[in-house]
Every structure is written in C-alpha cells, then in structure tokens.
Structure 1
C-alpha cells in the first residue's frame, strides 16, 4: 500500500518546503504522546533523505513548513527565523467584523505545557506584534449568540514576532477569535461551523513565507494554497476575489526544484 504523500511546494539541494495539512504534528512531542503521524518522518520517507526542521507550525494550523536538507543549512535558516529576517503571511476566518486594519502590540506570557514545562518558572510577558487586515466579511442568518445574525471576517495576519500561539491569542485579545480554535475560541461558533459547513479544523493557514535564500541570495516566496475545507468556505461566502488566486490553487508546482 502506498504511503501518504505530502504536498511538496518547493525543493532545491538545500531546502524543501511542504504544505502541511491541519492536524499533522511537525515532529514527535510529549504534548501528543499517542500521535503516530509526523511531518518530519513522513517527508524523510517520501524524499529518501534526512530533513531538519527549522521552524514549527501548530498541529491544527496548515500551510508553509520548511525543512533544511543538511545541518549547516538548518543553522542558517534557524538564524533567519530567530532574527525574523522574513515575512510570514497567514489567513484566518474569525468571529465578528474585525478591524479594517490594526497593528497590535500586545505582550503575551508564554503558555507552559503541563508535560514539557513542569519545572519551568512562570515566564515574564514578551513583546508580541501582529498586523491585521480585514479582507472580507459576511453576515449569516443564524442566531449563534444573542443577535439574529452572525458575522464573520476573513483576516490577513502578518506576525512581526514569533511567539507561541501569537496570532490565535492576539485575535482572542481583540474579541475576534479564530473559528475552530478549541483553546482560544468560542465553542458555540466552532460547533456551528462543524455542523453547518463540515469545517472541523482551526481556520488558520500559513499561506506565504518570504525570505532571502541563504545560499542563492534570491528572494524566495513560498506559497501554500488553502485546503479543501477553507477553500470551500471562501467560495461559499463569495470571498474568492479577496485573495490572490495562487492561495486558492490546488497545487503549486512552479517553485519545485528551483535554484
């Protein structure tokens, strides 16, 4: 039986990037001790060589995930991410009509994990900055809360810092939680999307990642199209003109095997 194949959106002799599906861990973790599927091992088996993770995406978040193909490149890419010499772009579907534009500078305290951070001291708030743009909105004739209609927004998110769950927590802070966020969202809206639209995932995707390639010294733009769940919501709400067409394509092959 053929093993599950990941969608490779970029590959050269130093880097490989995939469109990580929602629900897939990057690598083994004590947080999900019973999970058996990991992007790192799946990709290693798929391309037949070891890969080095250089950043992470939350398990429920889909989108661009980059691996280095040797330890030296992993160190170079690690510096790019740690110093934030890059531009990350996410898209989310949130509750309510989000601000048209907002640059949010709101420090957050790192969330400690009960398994891996048992001996850690309570951390201090760390700077966290995210820029938000409302791309589209919709009003639906369903009374989820106390109003006869329920409103939702399509939001582009540009994190300027890289704190854990930063986008999810910042959107919760401004009272526009992401649909499908079990920890930071609202259960009644999450259940509504599950039942009405068969949307059973966190509606947050890392759609673009841009940085200067450490070896080729070229501007590299990696694009991960939205999955079926998010794409069908974009179509249902008539939001397709609000997004670049490449974010809605089923496959992105133009960057494969490029120098």
Structure 2
C-alpha cells in the first residue's frame, strides 16, 4: 500500500497554501498517468485533515518529475484571480536545471512550441514561447557516454520562462541541444543512466522550481523561495566542477 507523502508547507494564509513538491509526485490525478494514485492534492488534503479548506485546488502545473514550489488556492475567488495571473504572464518564475553539455553563458530563446508535447509537432498550432537561460556552473565528470570522449560535460542553468507552455523549459532546452538530465521524454537515455549511476543510483528529472513572484489575491506581491533539496547538494559535492554555484 502506498503512503501519502508529507509536503513541507512554505507559506499559508486564508487564500493560499504553498508547498515544496518532491520530484516524482503528480500535482493531481490525471488520465495521462492513470495507474498513479499518489498526488500532491490528495496528500495535502490528507495532511490538513477535516479542518482543511473545502476548496483546495492547484493554482498552476508542475510536471511530475519537477520538484519545488507548488501553489494551492483555498478559495474560488483566489483560484480565479491566480489562474488569470498565470495565464497573463504576471507571475515571475525561476527554475534550476542540470543539462547536458556546456551551453552559452546567457541565452534568450523564443522558438514557438506545439500545443501538445505528447503529439508530433508537425501539423499542430505553434504557440509563442520564450525562456531566458543563465549558466550557473559547469562540470566535467570522468565517465564516457557513447564514443569519442572519455569524459562527459554538464551544466547547471537557471531558467526563467516568460510564457507558460507545457514542458516549455524541457522542450526549449532540447531545441538548444542541452536537454535536462533525467528527462525521459525530451532528454537522452544514455546520459540519464550514466549520471544516475555516477550519483549512486539517484534517478530523477533534474528540474526544480526555486522562486516565484506573484500577485496575492488579497493585494500586493508575494515572493516565494524554495531552495533545492539534499539531492542537489549531493550533486554539487561531486568533484569536477569548474564553477560551483551556490544553491
């Protein structure tokens, strides 16, 4: 029997509850992953118990593999207002990711994306999408993936999506030939497996929602920060970093 995970609560008021979602947990039940029972919405409801808010709902999406800041609303009015804020680009988001290769120090990428990442892009409506990337640190590890090189290069990057397309950061990094490590859909399996083995069997999508600036339903701005967890610290403790970023 699966047990509901405990979600650290980072902020709570009469309009919002913000948690640190672990990697590998769905936000809510979905037909796209019909065999998965565990999800953050049910876990938080169980955690809050009978005295919890009756109108608890996620205000935005995080991929199952992504860890970090997840905002729930506790009132219908808050859900409507925050939903509009996310849709209209009024929420500033910052992520960190481990990617294959050494990207340029700063990248502004605005290649359109097909609406549905689960289907072939050909024939789909292409939607505007823009993400800025900042390289935070580079590392070279002494294992070989494929032929031609006896070591493998990776980088830690900061991603700031200015639009909210599904899998936007993951798809934009794939377009740039710097896919996120651990991305089974848009990444490279040999690199995913090699890094997992190098880190002692840690298998996850290396993408973390670290910071949000959003308009609070009661007025003013709310600034939320969620430092990456122990797995990221283990990542930085490995030898081979040319520039070791502070998380």
Gaps of 5+ in 1: 115-120, 245-259
| Range moving further from structure 2, 47-56 or 70-79 | 47-56
- RMSD of aligned alpha carbons: 1.9
Compared CA separation, residues 240 and 40, structure 1 to 2 (3 A): farther
Contact 1:31 1:113 in 2 (8 A): no
Distance in structure 1 (CA, Å) of the matches to 2:112 and 2:53: 40
Q: 1:183 — aligned with what?
A: 185
Distance in structure 1 (CA, Å) of the matches to 2:149 and 2:117: 36
Gaps of 5+ in 2: none
Instruction: Tell me which of 158, 161, 170 is aligned to 1:159.
Output: 161
- Write the deviation string for residues 186-230 of structure 1: whole angstroms up to 9, x where unpaired: 11110011212022000001011111212131x311112212222
Distance in structure 2 (CA, Å) of the matches to 1:211 and 1:239: 34
- Write the deviation string for residues 92-131 of structure 1: whole angstroms up to 9, x where unpaired: 00010011001001001122558xxxxxx95310001000
Q: 1:107 — aligned with what?
A: 112
Distance in structure 2 (CA, Å) of the matches to 1:199 and 1:236: 13
Instruction: Tell me which of 47, 60, 68 is aligned to 2:73.
Output: 68
How do 1:196-211 residues align onto structure 2 when only pairs under 5 Å count? 196-197=198-199, 198-211=201-214
How do 1:219-238 residues align onto structure 2 when only pairs under 5 Å count? 219-237=221-239
Compared CA separation, residues 239 and 74, structure 1 to 2 (3 A): farther
Distance in structure 2 (CA, Å) of the matches to 1:173 and 1:3: 36
How do 1:207-218 residues align onto structure 2 when only pairs under 5 Å count? 207-217=210-220
Is 2:237 the partner of 1:243?
A: no
- Write the deviation string for residues 129-177 of structure 1: whole angstroms up to 9, x where unpaired: 0000000001112221321221110000000100000000100111101
Q: How many angstroms does 1:55 deviate by?
A: 0.5
Compared CA separation, residues 49 and 126, structure 1 to 2 (3 A): same
Distance in structure 2 (CA, Å) of the matches to 1:109 and 1:3: 34
Contact 1:234 1:240 in 2 (8 A): no
- Write the deviation string for residues 17-76 of structure 1: whole angstroms up to 9, x where unpaired: 001111111111001111111111111121223311110100011110001011111001
Contact 2:57 2:74 in 1 (8 A): yes
Q: Secondary structure at the match of 2:180?
A: coil
Q: 1:37 — aligned with what?
A: 38
Distance in structure 2 (CA, Å) of the matches to 1:100 and 1:240: 12
Contact 2:138 2:244 in 1 (8 A): no
Q: 2:27 — aligned with what?
A: 26
Distance in structure 2 (CA, Å) of the matches to 1:112 and 1:169: 8
How do 1:101-180 residues align onto structure 2 when only pairs under 5 Å count? 101-111=106-116, 113=118, 122-145=123-146, 146-180=148-182
Distance in structure 2 (CA, Å) of the matches to 1:216 and 1:240: 40
Q: If the length of structure 2 is used for normalisation, what is the TM-score?
A: 0.90
Q: 1:94 — aligned with what?
A: 99
Q: How many residues were matched structurally?
A: 236
Q: Secondary structure at the match of 1:73?
A: helix
